[in-house]
Amino acid sequence: MAASTMRFSPATYNGGSRGPQRVSPATALRLGSTQNAAVFSVTRTISSRARISSISQCSSSSSSSSVTSAAMINKASGKVIDGKSVAKQIQEKIATEISRMKESIGVVPGLAVILAGNREDSVAYVRNKKIACESVGINSKSYEVHLAEEVSEQEVLEHIKGFNDDPSVHGILVQLPLPPHMNQQNVLNAIQIEKDVDGFNPLNIGLLAMKDREPLFVPCTAKACIELLHRYDVPIKGKRVVVVGRSNIVGLPTALLLQREDATVSIVHSRTENPEEITREADVVIAAVGRPNMVKGSWIKPNAVVIDVGVTKVEDAKKRRGYRYDGDVCFEEVNKIASAITPVPRGVGPMTIAMLLSNTLVAAKRAHNFK
């Protein structure tokens, strides 16, 4: 996708969605050190109260600069980027496009979703995707596969093969994480690249990385982040952007997409020696680690824009349901310093689902050469 065509139009932009991955607290404490740790959406309940206080509460780092401290004191709250509302607008346009396609050529986009096991979070994610598909007119219901936790890799591969061969299926999504006895790479590689609406195929990632090449699909969360920046007229070209986290499914593709948009991109990760200092240089910060409230006010340059991809379920006795969702960014602190920030929830999450719908529409249009 050329930089010049990156702004949203239903025909060109891409999305995709991948559900949460569970990581051990020890793993999550390391900043994106494994593929699993650096996912955009980490759902886990932190059961130790000590851990809750050490991880999930917002408090300024002792090294916060006087500049940012002053900003924190003097500045009113930044603009909150309303991902849910933007996602709604996008879904409406997608629904219109799908109606037009159905009327013109009688084709309804089909999205197959394969879920193995009964993880509470995965089940919830799949349900949300299904609801979103229905709301825009994508047929997901006919291609829903819910398998037992102990299903063999071979059986999952056979389902994928069936969907690869089915011309009424335009997108295939395997809900991650897969049960531990399966080889995730094998399974994802089996998805035909033209139907890989998540865009995680290495060929697609290579095409995303290279100048003058075009990926088939832009991974959904990456596109969700950049689309929010565009919608809120945040300059990207030439600006310094720091992506915190380097997972294959969020940090890496987001950095590659930002590079295509002519940002000056730095990736901060678990081995970075001075993440706070580097992040504070950025005009735009994308936090995609899966460690709640890790990015404090002292990490942010005054008037920077902050996109928070993390979603972690954190125990909270004050809530009626007993938990809340926290992002990677300490919202209360950062909101006083940033010029704009996405909330959690209602920020990147709904946009990610909108991008999945969009990618499925793109796949269907491409398969039928429908403009």
Residues that bind its own copies (CB under 8 A): 34-35, 185, 201-213, 237-240, 246-248, 252, 256, 259, 262, 264-269, 271-273, 278, 281
Closest to its own copies by CB, 192 vs 264, is 264
In whole angstroms, what is the distance from residue 31 CA to residue 13 CA?
30
| DSSP classification of residue 266 | E
In whole angstroms, what is the distance from residue 13 CA to residue 321 CA?
37
Closest to its own copies by CB, 54 vs 183, is 183
Closest to its own copies by CB, 22 vs 130, is 22
> Minimum Å distance from CB 14 to its own copies?
16
> Minimum Å distance from CB 273 to its own copies?
4
Q: Any idea which residues carry the catalytic annotation? A: 129, 175, 198
For 335, phi and psi rounded to 5 degrees?
A: -60, -25
> Minimum Å distance from CB 4 to its own copies?
13
Closest to its own copies by CB, 37 vs 353, is 37
Helices (H) and strands (E) in the chain, counts: 13, 11
Give the residue from 7, 10, 1, 4 showing the smallest Cα distance to 357: 10
Give the residue from 370, 288, 282 showing the smallest Cα distance to 329: 288
Structure tokens at 208: 């995303």
9: Cβ–Cβ under 8 A, 6 or more apart, which residues? none
Q: Tell me the residue type at 109.
A: P
